[in-house]
Structure 1
Amino acid sequence: MTEASVLPSPDAPPEVLPYDPFDPAYHADPYKVYEKLRAEQGQVIRTAAGVAVLGYQQISDVMRDSRFGRGDGAGVQDTMIPTDEGLRRAFMFMDPPDHTRIRSLVNKVFTPRTVERVRPQAEVFAAGLLTKLRAEHGDGQIDLAAHYFRPLSAYVLNVLVGVPEKYLERCIEFANDAGRGLDPEYTLNEAELRTRMAAREGFVDISVELIEQRRAKPEDDLMSELVAVEQNGERLTETELLTTAANIFLAGFSAPQAMMGLSALALLRHREQLAWFRAHPEKVANAVEELMRYDSAVQLASRTVLESADISGVPVAPGDEVFLMLGAANRDENFYENANTLDLTRAPSRNLVFGHGIHFCVAAPIARLVTQVALNALTRYDVALVTETPRTNGALAIRSLAELPVTLGESK
């Protein structure tokens, strides 16, 4: 199934966010909307459901403050994983002490070094995809979103986790249908809600099969390590193992392919930056951090107020929802000089695309690696945009391109 490019238009959407989540202009360029909101209403804006936070420092503070957590708000309910025990939350959407216990076990096996092991295979696969696309299409038009970023993202995660190659196409389809997996329920129509849940069920089915196989015969992959991990006598329960595996699939497919697309688009729109990127392959890691900051794949996250607090003087009460506008924070002029400028030579600094604090995104190492690999391989070709304004998938939480049509010239 393909990603939606047209949002539903309910008669009276809830007044939850300080902007219209169905406005095509927002999806074309959210940063203009953030700039206007910041200028007119400040860094913290009260809404009918709680507050929306735009400032870098304010969001960073909230993410490190134990008075803000997951709670039981709508932001958690929208992320539930179907299991035999009913809908259950993955550990990324838990609060301590459960989150602390499970995260410590997952961190033992899900490390940057573990992810780095798949780089050589990822580089070979990326180069092979582009060679094949160039051979098939010549100087004709190619949709990089469909034929490069999505299969590359799926392949890398499948190799890392240990998913058989026969499931590659199915995983790509599930990832497309789950592309709005973190969006508030009210922004999706009934058909989109059904496909989102069907994608989660599909990843659960694959996870159940793999867990069974790795219990019987461990291999050198992440799933085997998750099945076997133990610390101080603690192990993952069956439900925790299943929801963790499914969550890795959901996060590990959608966000990386979104980041690849937005980063490639930014480079191709800024030809002088593209030339610098090609001339400095040794700087790819820092360059990708700047690209992810400039156009953030993860635009929106949420927290629930657990204890009375204030955010820059704005009081919040237990049960209030806090909408963290990460894309706005990554363009905050109070933190970044010339924040609206793409500058690959910018001194490294922590952007908030993966979050901060105890809920820092577990899939961050995958996204970084696959984006570096994808751009390094792609920029060896003479690539040109067919349109400067390709369609997005209409998502609020994970901003992704529905398409990226280009022409792919000779390799350099």
Structure 2
Amino acid sequence: MRATRSWMLMRDGEAHRRLRGLANPLFTARAIREITPRIDGIVHQLMDDMGEGPGVDLIGSLAALVPVTVFCGLGGLPVEDRDLCRKWTDALGHVIDPAADEATRRVMNDAAEEFAAYIAEHLDRRRAAPQDDIISRLLLAEFDGEKLSDDEIIANVMMFFMGGHETTVNLIGNGILALLRHPDQLRILREEPGLIDNAIDELLRYDAPIQLVARITTGDIDLDGTTIPAGSKVMILLGAANRDPLRYDDPDRLDLRRTDVRPLSFGGGPHYCIGALLAKAEARLVFTELLRRHRNIQLTHGDIAWRPQVNIRGLRELRVDLTS
């Protein structure tokens, strides 16, 4: 609670506007374009290390490593610490899971304290010698004459890691699985690589990385004759909304050529995911390079192991046979 109460994800009104305003310049379209060559280099190196052959785990060898490697580099944290950051991030991901048990909460608390101490150490170093990284920029940023406190910087760096990790890993993993289960759509993407941006939106719609979000109503809402009073906590099922038959024709069909695809997988309104453009850029580079390198990608076996969270939809692993 000490950490999450400072997350912009958990704030509203002026407090949210202030935090978001300070962090927004780091995630604009222009900022993402400027760092795309660095992300591309990371993707190429990870694929070189991954290699090819039978039974390659695309989650552990690629999808789970891309966002944490990217954010370590952008955040000013040693890339050699990525496995440690990933361990903490995996634990923190349960904070938005409504079904977390007591043992999981203890693991989360330990991870929050350890991760906060780790970031605080690097924050002190950046204060003494600022660099061109996210921690330094947050330290120096001003919005309406205000700066972030150390606790706010630490908490939101943790949030960026957690949010960026879960969305990107599951966008890549769920997306690759969907394409392998729909070889006609995989063939279309190979033949028409210019569809990649539309394909990513359709894959986000078809199998959202985050399936639900919690909100509190700010006024009475009438829904099909039922009134939800102001101040009510509601769970919004993003995965269901993405397959609403009133919004999309044949919504259970994957169609990379589908028009007017606007998935709600990154939320909406003031709390629209601040890192959505970064997640899409990472996924775009991964899909493009994976299909360029490997002419044949097949599931190693039919058993698919999903992670147990209620709201996070992602794979434990994705074993595939890769050939050039």
The normalised TM-score by structure 2 is 0.93
Paired letter, 2:322: L
Q: Is the 8 A contact 1:179 1:395 kept in 2?
A: no
Q: Is the 8 A contact 1:115 1:160 kept in 2?
A: no
Give 1:96 shift: 0.4
Identify the residue that residue 111 of structure 1 maps to in structure 2.
28
The normalised TM-score by structure 1 is 0.74
Q: Is the 8 A contact 1:203 1:246 kept in 2?
A: yes
Identify the residue that residue 139 of structure 2 maps to in structure 1.
227
Equivalent residue in structure 1 for 2:74, among 160, 165, 171: 160
1:211 aligns with 2:211: no
Give 1:281 shift: 2.1
Identify the residue that residue 405 of structure 1 maps to in structure 2.
319
Q: What do you get for the CA RMSD once the two structures are aligned?
A: 1.8
Write the mapping of 1:232-251 to structure 2, written as runs, cut at 5 A: 232-251=144-163
Same amino acid, percent of matched pairs: 31
- Stretch of structure 1 that moved more, 331-340 or 380-389: 380-389
Identify the residue that residue 242 of structure 2 maps to in structure 1.
330
Q: Where do 4+ consecutive residues of structure 1 move more than 6 Å?
A: none
Equivalent residues, number: 322
C-alpha deviations, 1:126-149, integer Å up to 9, x for none?
A: 222223322xxx532111111111
Equivalent residue in structure 2 for 1:284, among 196, 209, 221: 196
Give 1:269 shift: 1.0
Q: Is the 8 A contact 1:290 1:346 kept in 2?
A: yes
Write the mapping of 1:257-272 to structure 2, written as runs, cut at 5 A: 257-272=169-184
Q: CA separation in 1, counterparts of 2:253 and 2:113?
A: 41
Q: Which runs of 5+ in 2 are unaligned?
A: none
Paired letter, 1:337: D
Q: CA separation in 2, counterparts of 1:179 and 1:92?
A: 13
Identify the residue that residue 340 of structure 1 maps to in structure 2.
252
Higher share of residues assigned helix: 2
Paired letter, 1:330: N
Paired letter, 1:90: W
Identify the residue that residue 383 of structure 1 maps to in structure 2.
297
C-alpha deviations, 1:81-125, integer Å up to 9, x for none?
A: 43xxxx634121111021122212221333232233332222222
Give 1:385 shift: 0.6
Q: Is the 8 A contact 1:81 1:246 kept in 2?
A: no
C-alpha deviations, 1:266-305, integer Å up to 9, x for none?
A: 1111111111112222221121111111100010101113
Tell me the secondary structure at the aligned position of residue 140 of structure 1. strand
Identify the residue that residue 269 of structure 2 maps to in structure 1.
357
Give 1:389 shift: 4.4
Q: Is the 8 A contact 1:109 1:229 kept in 2?
A: no
Equivalent residue in structure 2 for 1:146, among 60, 67, 71: 60
Q: CA separation in 2, counterparts of 1:196 and 1:255?
A: 19
Q: CA separation in 1, counterparts of 2:322 and 2:63?
A: 15
- Stretch of structure 1 that moved more, 400-409 or 240-249: 240-249
Q: CA separation in 2, counterparts of 1:143 and 1:335?
A: 35
Identify the residue that residue 175 of structure 1 maps to in structure 2.
89
Q: CA separation in 2, counterparts of 1:279 and 1:222?
A: 38
Tell me the secondary structure at the aligned position of residue 340 of structure 1. coil
Equivalent residue in structure 2 for 1:100, among 5, 14, 17: 17
